[in-house]
C-alpha cells in the first residue's frame, strides 16, 4: 500500500510540474484539521460502554474518561490540476490495542473529468452506511457520537481500493450512484484476542437521491473475511468428537457478511430529522444476524440545537445450526454462538451549542437498556451485569 500511495504522489507531482512548465495555473495545497475532546462516564460498574466494536476497552463506574470519543485528525488536499486531487488524512483515536497511534485513514487520488463523474483510488473511507465515511469527524454530527446502536457493528473505517460515482438530474432533484471495491487493512480485538481482517475483499453500491431538504440513501455492501478468529481451541474439540459441521460453522475465513441500509434525512430551516435502518446477515454462525435503526429529531434555536433520539440493535440466531454431539460440548457450542446476541435500546437527549465559528460544545445523556445476556456490544462484561447503564458525555468538536 505504501508503494501505491507513493506512486500516486509522484504522479501528482509530475503532473503539477508539467503544468508549471507550460504556464498553467499553479496547483494548490490545503491543510485542514478536526478533532473531538470528549469526556464520558457510565453508571455501571459491570460492563464498559464502547463507541463501536473496534474498541477493546470502554468507560464504566462513574469515572470520567476521554478515551472512547477523543479524536484528532489532519487532512491535506493537493489540487494538482483542476481535474486531479490528492487527499491524505491521518487520525489519532482509540485502537484495538488501547493505543492512540496515528493511523493513515485516507490516502487517495481523485480524478474528476466531468462534474458528473468522479474516480478515486487508494485508501478510501468505508461507505457502508449513510454518514459512515465521516463518522470520526465529530463536528459533522449533531450528536456527541454517531448512534452506537446503528454504527457500532461497523468496526472498519477504510479500505484500499477504488470507487466510481456519477450524478444525474432526476425529477427536480439529483440522483447519485457509486460503486466501490477493495480490501480492508484493519484489526479488531475482543475476548478471543486480535482478529486481523487485512486482505478481506469488500464491495458495494450506494444510491442517493437529493431534492430540496430531503436526502434518501440506499447502501448495499459486503465483506468476505480473509482470516478466521481465534476459535481453534473450540473447533479442535468439536472435530475430535465428530462435530465437523459445527466446527465449520464457526469459521469466518471465506465467509461473507452483507449490509443493507436505508437512510432518510430532512434538513430545512430549524428542523432536522434523521431516520435509518440497517440489516446485517452473516454466513458464519460466529455472529448472529442483526437489525439496527435509529430516529433523531432536532430543532435549532439560534446557536443551540436540542435533540432527542432513540436507537435499537437486535440480533437473531441462525436457523438450522448443526447438531453437535450431546453433553458438555454441545453446551459449549451453544454458549459460543449465543455470545454474539444483542438486544439493546438507547434513549438519547442532548444539545449542541455552536458558540464559535467551526467550534461546538455538546451535551448528551444516553439511557442504554439491554438484556442481561447482551455482552457482545460491551467490553469486559462481569457476571453481575444487568444490561442497564446511563452514559453522560461532554464534547468539544472543532475543525480548522
pLDDT in tens, 103-122: 999 999 999 999 999 999 99
Domains and CATH numbers, the chain: 2-399 (2.40.160.10)
| Residues 254, 73: Cα–Cα separation, whole Å | 34
pTM of the model: 0.90
pLDDT (0 to 100) of residue 27? 66
Find the farthest-apart pair of alpha carbons in the chain and give their distance in angstroms, rounded. 80
pLDDT (0 to 100) of residue 26? 57
Are 311 and 292 in contact by the 8 Å Cβ rule? The answer is: yes
Secondary structure E strands in the chain:
28-42, 71-79, 84-92, 103-114, 117-125, 158-170, 173-184, 187-190, 193-196, 201-211, 214-224, 256-268, 271-282, 289-299, 304-316, 343-356, 359-370, 388-399
| Residues 237, 246: Cα–Cα separation, whole Å | 10
pLDDT (0 to 100) of residue 92? 97
pLDDT in tens, 227-242: 999 999 999 999 999 8
| Residues 106, 91: Cα–Cα separation, whole Å | 9
Sign, CA dihedral 230-236-241-243, equals positive
pLDDT (0 to 100) of residue 61? 86
Task: Output the CA–CA distances (angstroms, integers) from residue 63 to 39, 46, 67, 385, in the order listed.
Answer: 10, 13, 12, 17
pLDDT in tens, 131-167: 777 889 999 999 999 999 999 888 889 999 999 999 9
Degrees (nearest 5) of the Cα angle 207, 214, 125? 45
Would you state the cell numbers that stand for residue 359, as one nine-digit string?
A: 467550534
Q: Under DSSP, is residue 292 helix (H, G, I), strand (E, B) or coil?
A: strand
Question: In the chain, how many H helices and how many E strands?
Answer: 5, 18
Low-confidence ranges of the chain (pLDDT < 70): 1-27
Would you state the cell numbers that stand for residue 309, as one nine-digit string?
A: 433520539
According to DSSP, residue 322 is labeled P
Amino acid at each position: 500500500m505504501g508503494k501505491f500511495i507513493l506512486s500516486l504522489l509522484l504522479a501528482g507531482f509530475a503532473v503539477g510540474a508539467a503544468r508549471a512548465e507550460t504556464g498553467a495555473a499553479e496547483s494548490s495545497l490545503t491543510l485542514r484539521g478536526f478533532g473531538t475532546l470528549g469526556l464520558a462516564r457510565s453508571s455501571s460498574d459491570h460492563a464498559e460502554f464502547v463507541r463501536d466494536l473496534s474498541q477493546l476497552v470502554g468507560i464504566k463506574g462513574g469515572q470520567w474518561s476521554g478515551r472512547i470519543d477523543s479524536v484528532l485528525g489532519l487532512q491535506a488536499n493537493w489540487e494538482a490540476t483542476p481535474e486531479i486531487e490528492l487527499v491524505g488524512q491521518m487520525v489519532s483515536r482509540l485502537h484495538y490495542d488501547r493505543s492512540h497511534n496515528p493511523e493513515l485513514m485516507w490516502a487517495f487520488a481523485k480524478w474528476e473529468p466531468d462534474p458528473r463523474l468522479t474516480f478515486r483510488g487508494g485508501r478510501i473511507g468505508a461507505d457502508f452506511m449513510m454518514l459512515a465515511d465521516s463518522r470520526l469527524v465529530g463536528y459533522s454530527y449533531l450528536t456527541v457520537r454517531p448512534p452506537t446502536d446503528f454504527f457500532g457493528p461497523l468496526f472498519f473505517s477504510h479500505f484500499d481500493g477504488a470507487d466510481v460515482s456519477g450524478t444525474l438530474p432526476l425529477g427536480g432533484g439529483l440522483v447519485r450512484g457509486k460503486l466501490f471495491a477493495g480490501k480492508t487493512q484493519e484489526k479488531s480485538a475482543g475476548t478471543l484476542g486480535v482478529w486481523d481482517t487485512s486482505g478481506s475483499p469488500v464491495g458495494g453500491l450506494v444510491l442517493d437521491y437529493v431534492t430540496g431538504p430531503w436526502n434518501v440513501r440506499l447502501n448495499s455492501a459486503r465483506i468476505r473475511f480473509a482470516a478466521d478468529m481465534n476459535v481453534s481451541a473450540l473447533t479442535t474439540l468439536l472435530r475430535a468428537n465428530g462435530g465437523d459441521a459445527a466446527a465449520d460453522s464457526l469459521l469466518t475465513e471465506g465467509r461473507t457478511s452483507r449490509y443493507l441500509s436505508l437512510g432518510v434525512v430532512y434538513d430545512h430551516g430549524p428542523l432536522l430529522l434523521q431516520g435509518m435502518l440497517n440489516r446485517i446477515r452473516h454466513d458464519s454462525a460466529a455472529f448472529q444476524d442483526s437489525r439496527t435503526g435509529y430516529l433523531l429529531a432536532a430543532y435549532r434555536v439560534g446557536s443551540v440545537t436540542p435533540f432527542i433520539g432513540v436507537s435499537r440493535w437486535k440480533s437473531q440466531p441462525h436457523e438450522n445450526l448443526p447438531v453437535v454431539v450431546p453433553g458438555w460440548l454441545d453446551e459449549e457450542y451453544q454458549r459460543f454462538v449465543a455470545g454474539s446476541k444483542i438486544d439493546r435500546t438507547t434513549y438519547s437527549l442532548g444539545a449542541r451549542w455552536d458558540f464559535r465559528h467551526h467550534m461546538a460544545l455538546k451535551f448528551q445523556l444516553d439511557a442504554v437498556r439491554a438484556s442481561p445476556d447482551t455482552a457482545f456490544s460491551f467490553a469486559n462484561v462481569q457476571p453481575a451485569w444487568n444490561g442497564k447503564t446511563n452514559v453522560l458525555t461532554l464534547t468539544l468538536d472543532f475543525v480548522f
